[in-house]
Amino acid sequence: MRYSPSFARSSGLIPTLVALAALALLPLVFDGNYLRHLLVLAFIFAIVASSWDLSLGYGGLFNFSHVALFAVGIYAYGLVAKTLGLSPWLGLVVAGGAAGLVAALITLPIMRLSGIYIILVTIAASQVLYQIVISQSQITGGTSGMVSLPGLELFGYRMSRDGKIGYYYLALAMLVASTILLYRITRSRWGRAIVAMRDHKYYAISRGMSETRTRLFTLTVSAAISGVAGGLYGSYMRVASPDNFGLGLLGLLLSMLLLGGAGTIWGPILAAFFVTIVSEALAEYGAWRNIIMSLLLIVILIFYPGGLWALLQTAREAFDVVRTQAIATLRRRSGKAAREALTGGQERIISTRHGRVAVADGGGNGPALLFIHGNSSAKEAFAEQFKAFRDRYRVISFDLPGHGVSDNADPEQDYSVEAFADVAEDVLQALGVTNPLVFGWSLGGYIAIELAARGYPIRALSVSGTPPLRVVPEDVGKAYDATSHFALASRRFLSPSEVRDFATSTTGPRDRATKHLHRAVMRTDGRARAYTLGKLQIVDWPRQMRFLRAAAVPFAILNGSKDPFLNHQYFRELKLTQWTGEPADVVGAGHAPFLTMPAAFNARLAAFLEAVEKGNSMSQTTDRPTIPE
Amino acid sequence: MTFDTLTLILLGGVVLGALYALMATGLALVWTTLGIFNFAHGTFIALGAYIAWQVASPEALGGGLLVGALVSVVGMFFIGMAVYYLLIKPFERSADIVVKSVITTLAGATILENLISIAWGPRNKQLSAVLTGDLQFFGLVMSRNEAAAVIVSLVILAALGIFLQRAPLGRAMRAVAQNREAAQLMGIDVVRLYAVAFGLSAALAAIAGVLIGSIRFMNPLMGSDPLMKALIVVIFGGIARFTGPIYAAFIVGLLEAFMTYAVGLYWSPTVLFAIMIVVLVVKPEGLFGKHRKSV
């Protein structure tokens, strides 16, 4: 199942709450009536544009009658509130219902059409609505429209009083309500059906979804939301004009949708504010305003097709790179003593082909033992191994580029398994180490295998949480358990709760032993995750597998038996030649056995290393002994 | 209904049909070749009329109607090509070109409309008539000007038909419409061809604009109503054949003329659009279409 966290756990929560608080407090700080008027319009247009996004962006249905349905809402409000003289609040409800009903009628002819034909029918339908309104002048006022519609009142308080403050909060509340509704729809069964219909209609139908029902639902719901917004607009402007059926308003709202980025809900809302305010700022230029707005729209569509939403993402990426680098720089200066205390080794900075990396060197004259950490972690993950093996080995570990206190690097060049193997080579060379024993954890395991497979002389190889792969991406699905937080491993941005989830899955709940690794996830350059895992396919996997099958170097897999990411059966089926002194899995340990169960893990690793020293690592092809759960 | 009313309706329908045929063929040309719908087509009509007026009118340059029309047609051809390169070409490889071209052509229409309004003002203008006086045959009376409009439309359409059937460029255009990739493999420069198709479509719009400007009044928004009618016509006729929209144009023209008589000026567009929706539902490929060209 696709990973999709609830909104409260996503990284959109904090910015949304901040923006909402700012908008809610704005009228208390600023008293400008004009700004308030603009924002009310922006709120209403944001509702219309984002509800349009449900059908056009998510559904891929080019429903061009959406704006006419907004106008239907305006007229329905006018008819109920003025002509029939009923409660204006009832007018809002009827506006939504009328727009939904008309949308359902429009859906009938486009049930089996696609692409441009839907555009044509819906535009024709808008014209029919327009012509009906024009021709029924005794009811609708014809071309001059309906004027002086009654406004909304709440317990006798006229919403338009006190600088329209009532409308401001009402429109804001309705925007929030419609956004919550749309967001929930997109995440519901219906939402998935809408997207599936857009992406692969016939597959979706073959899986039992009804195109008719999905279309009817999409168009009716989005129109009903738009219709209520129309009712609000009618009560606010107190005019129902047939111009609202025209191409002018259609163009304005469509520009919001496309400028914001279709298929995002948030983009159109953002663009509604942008377009409304820019359009009003140009109000005094008359005909030139329309020209400038249209030019702006064309230029943005040509040079920035993703729209404002993509611009926001770019800004966020740039900010995240600066943030992670700043953390790295800061920690490199201030936390060195604490890190050295953890490992007992000396920290130094080494320049490699892929930027400057931080290395912890335990020193001593023993054989070198290199530890390579995994995705979004840091060299201090191996603190317990530094302590346990320092007497017999020269324990070395380093922070991968973009991790720990190493510098961020160029994502294209420096964030891949192969580049990380280059870094390992450079570190070993700078330290003057030859023929090391190498242990790699998770992503670090692939780096270790890559280092060995490309012919770099090493004495022994051990990995943990690293299923050797034959074909990518096919084997990834077999070797990993998709129900874990594995999906987070390649995500560029992690929200605070995702950081917690990921760190907990990889290293365990936050406590004294793991807290620095939880912090390491926060620091990691998101591009390192996205690029490294994105580029997994270009690693020479067959070469790694040939190397492992050749069994020229002693090899051991030391997994935790409760590793949430792994499909343990996959290891058994690989039938690799490896050290089999005893069941190598650390019973009860998770993804990081060396961290959570250091004593048991160190004993296993020590046994393997001892076998290597004695030259009887007992390499033989064997079924991996199974661990009773 | 007297015989006189009937002939009046018939002749009115034929004139409307001829104008619709010109506009719809221009629209269909772009639709078939590029697979997009050009919402600036109505503004092309207005701009063509205004350019002709600028050259022809005694109030402006005073070059005479024929020169004005010629300048307008040639000018609009190049403006159409420019519009293609500026508004459509950048999205050629984009997956959602259909919806993006809707917004860019709408934006382009807004720009041109406002430029017209800035350059020539919003007040109504009129081109001088092509011919004056009335024409009488078989007891029918028709203004020479309207007769000229019908004949000019038919001649232009016939010429376009021959161009598409016989001329290498026209055949290439049909080839691209049928199968873009295959045509490209045969060495056809698709982008240039698209530009030419757009230019031709704009030139047809210019002719329509000149004819409308000489029969009715012109203002910056004069194209929006004909655009909607042309849309109906194209859907009625389908785009599978060149002649589809032409037959449909006359049917729609006559229908409109009769309907205006029967149900009144206000209701006739509603009925037309309703009929169009029915046609689209029952036979999306159009009344004269054989197979469906889906985009």
Residues B86-104: tens digit of each pLDDT: 999 888 888 778 878 888 8
Residues of A in contact with B232 (CB under 8 A): 124
Same domain? For A230 and A115 the reply is yes
Among B91, B107, B115, select the one facing A297 at the smallest CB separation.
B107
Looking at residue A207, what is its pLDDT?
92
Average pLDDT estimate for A585-607: 90
Residues of A in contact with B238 (CB under 8 A): none
Q: For residue B154, is it within any domain?
A: yes
Looking at residue A628, what is its pLDDT?
43
ipTM attached to this prediction: 0.84
Which is more confidently placed, B48 or B99? B48
Looking at residue B289, what is its pLDDT?
63
Of the residues A243, A270, A300, the one at which a domain ends: A243
Measured CB to CB, residues of chain A less than 8 Å from chain B are: 56, 62, 64, 108-109, 112-117, 119-121, 123-125, 127-128, 131-132, 134-135, 247-248, 250-251, 254-255, 258, 262, 287-288, 290-291, 293-295, 297-298, 301-302, 305
Looking at residue A108, what is its pLDDT?
84
- Smallest Cα–Cα separation from B280: which of A475, A522, A47, A128? A128
Same domain? For A464 and A563 the reply is yes
Please report how many Cα atoms fall inside a 13 Å half-sphere around the Cα of residue A37, on the Cβ side. 8
- As for how many domains chain A has, the answer is 2
CATH number reported for the structural domain that contains residue A364 in this entry:
3.40.50.1820
Looking at residue B120, what is its pLDDT?
87
CA atoms of A12 and A10, how far apart (whole Å): 5
Residue A356: other Cβ atoms inside 10 A: 15
Average pLDDT estimate for A295-311: 84
Task: Please provide the average confidence, as pLDDT, over all residues in chain A.
Answer: 88
Q: What share of chain A in percent tops pLDDT 90?
A: 51
Residues of A in contact with B269 (CB under 8 A): 127, 131
Which is more confidently placed, A172 or A159? A172
Q: Which domain holds residue A594?
A: 328-621
Structure tokens at B264: 């009144």
Among A115, A121, A287, select the one facing B294 at the smallest CB separation.
A115
Confidence of residue B295 (pLDDT cuts 50, 70, 90): very low
Q: Are A236 and A151 in contact (CB under 8 A)?
A: yes
Q: For residue A190, is it within any domain?
A: yes
Looking at residue A264, what is its pLDDT?
86
Q: What is the 3-state secondary structure (H, E, C) of chain B?
A: CCHHHHHHHHHHHHHHHHHHHHHHHHHHHHHHHHCCCCCCHHHHHHHHHHHHHHHHCCCCCCCCHHHHHHHHHHHHHHHHHHHHHHHHHHHCCCCCHHHHHHHHHHHHHHHHHHHHHHHHCCCCECCCCCCCCEEEECCEEEEHHHHHHHHHHHHHHHHHHHHHHHCHHHHHHHHHHHCHHHHHHCCCCHHHHHHHHHHHHHHHHHHHHHHHHHHCCECCCCCHHHHHHHHHHHHHHCCCCCCHHHHHHHHHHHHHHHHHHHHCCCHHHHHHHHHHHHHHHHCCCCCCCCCCCCC
Q: For residue A283, is it within any domain?
A: no
Q: For residue B240, is it within any domain?
A: no
CA atoms of A271 and B255, how far apart (whole Å): 43
Average pLDDT estimate for B226-233: 84
CA atoms of B96 and A500, how far apart (whole Å): 38
Looking at residue A580, what is its pLDDT?
66
Same domain? For A337 and A233 the reply is no
Q: For residue A411, is it within any domain?
A: yes
Angle at B173 between CA B169 and CA B174, to 5 degrees: 120
Give the closest-approach CA distance of A298 to chain B in angstroms: 6
Q: For residue A322, is it within any domain?
A: no
A305 contacts B35? CB cut-off 8 A: no
Give the closest-approach CA distance of B116 to chain A in angstroms: 10
Q: For residue A627, is it within any domain?
A: no
Give the closest-approach CA distance of A238 to chain B in angstroms: 26
Residue A429: other Cβ atoms inside 10 A: 12
Q: For residue B282, is it within any domain?
A: no
Q: Which domain holds residue B77?
A: 21-225
DSSP assigned state of A316 = H
Average pLDDT estimate for B4-12: 80
Q: For residue A103, is it within any domain?
A: yes
In the predicted structure, residue A599 carries a pLDDT above the cut 70 = yes
Task: Please provide the average confidence, as pLDDT, over all residues in chain B.
Answer: 84
- pTM of whole model > 0.90? no
- Smallest Cα–Cα separation from B111: which of A51, A170, A254, A292? A292
Of the residues A218, A243, A268, the one at which a domain ends: A243
Residues A432-488: tens digit of each pLDDT: 998 999 999 999 999 999 999 999 999 999 999 999 998 888 888 889 987 778 888
Average pLDDT estimate for A55-71: 91
Q: For residue A5, is it within any domain?
A: no
Looking at residue A624, what is its pLDDT?
46
Same domain? For A345 and A462 the reply is yes
Residues of B in contact with A275 (CB under 8 A): none
CA atoms of A325 and A9, how far apart (whole Å): 25
- As for how many domains chain B has, the answer is 1
Residues A242-289: tens digit of each pLDDT: 988 887 788 889 888 888 888 888 999 999 999 998 888 888 887 788
- Smallest Cα–Cα separation from A11: which of A272, A304, A313, A324? A313
Residues A553-573: tens digit of each pLDDT: 999 999 998 888 888 888 888
Q: What share of chain B in percent tops pLDDT 90?
A: 18
Residues A536-549: tens digit of each pLDDT: 988 999 999 999 98
The runs of H, that is alpha helices, within A454-514 are: 474-479, 496-507
Of the residues A213, A243, A273, the one at which a domain ends: A243
Looking at residue B215, what is its pLDDT?
83
Q: For residue B60, is it within any domain?
A: yes
Residues of B in contact with A56 (CB under 8 A): 99
Which is more confidently placed, A523 or B32? A523
Q: For residue A268, is it within any domain?
A: no
Q: What share of chain A in percent tops pLDDT 70?
A: 97
